[in-house]
Structure 1
Amino acid sequence: MSAMVISSLDRFISMARKLEAYGVTNIHLCYAKSTDDLDISVIALVPFVDYVILGQDAHYLPYLNQIVKEAQLRHIPVLPEERIVAVKN
């Protein structure tokens, strides 16, 4: 399984450990920072992950809505950080 985690680096590290424990072996960090530059590669990666995890600080990413819309169009679950436990079926 794979996941894209949108968060700060500190939050990513703690979430990555939890996800690895559930068998998510391919984990991508989308660093949530305030920037005007749109990173197309992040949006292009969405179709290739099984989950999109939103860290508590994901709202700092100005193009977060575009990532979430792409995930919803492709029926990829978008989970808040608090629901990581729900990732494992």
Structure 2
Amino acid sequence: MSAMVISSLDRFLGVARKLEGSGVTNIHLCYAKQMDKFDLSVVALVPFVDYVIVGEDANNLPYLKHIITEAQLRQIPVLPEERIASVKNKSW
């Protein structure tokens, strides 16, 4: 399973540990920092992950709405950081 985590680097480390405990082995960081330029490569990664995790400090990312919209269009679960426990391993 894979996930994109939108957060600062410090928060990412804690979130990644929790995700690994839930069976997520491929974890991508979308560094949530104030950027004037829209980063299309981040949005392009969304279709290839199983979950999008929004960190508590992700609100600084100006194109967060684009990432969430892309995930919703593709029916990819978007979860706040505190709901990581609901991530389940999909391998049967």
TM-score by length of 2: 0.95
**Which residue of structure 2 aligns with residue 48 of structure 1?**
48
**Which residue of structure 2 aligns with residue 88 of structure 1?**
88
Amino acid at match of 2:79: L
**Displacement, 1:21?**
1.0
Q: In structure 2, the residue corresponding to 1:53 is in which secondary structure?
A: strand
Aligned residues: 89
**Whole-angstrom distance in 2 between the partners of 1:3 and 1:35:** 22
Give the ranges of 4+ consecutive aligned residues of structure 1 lying more than 4 Å apart after TM superposition.
none
Identity between Structure 1 and Structure 2 (%)? 75
**Whole-angstrom distance in 2 between the partners of 1:51 and 1:37:** 24
**Which residue of structure 2 aligns with residue 76 of structure 1?**
76
**Which residue of structure 1 aligns with residue 57 of structure 2?**
57
CA distances 1:20-51 after superposition (whole Å, capped 9, x unpaired): 11110000000000111111110000000000
Q: In structure 1, the residue corresponding to 2:67 is in which secondary structure?
A: helix
**Which residue of structure 2 aligns with residue 27 of structure 1?**
27
**Displacement, 1:88?**
1.5
Amino acid at match of 2:66: Q
Structure 1, gaps ≥5 residues long: none
Structure 2, gaps ≥5 residues long: none
TM-score by length of 1: 0.98
CA RMSD of aligned residues (A): 0.7
**Whole-angstrom distance in 2 between the partners of 1:62 and 1:51:** 20
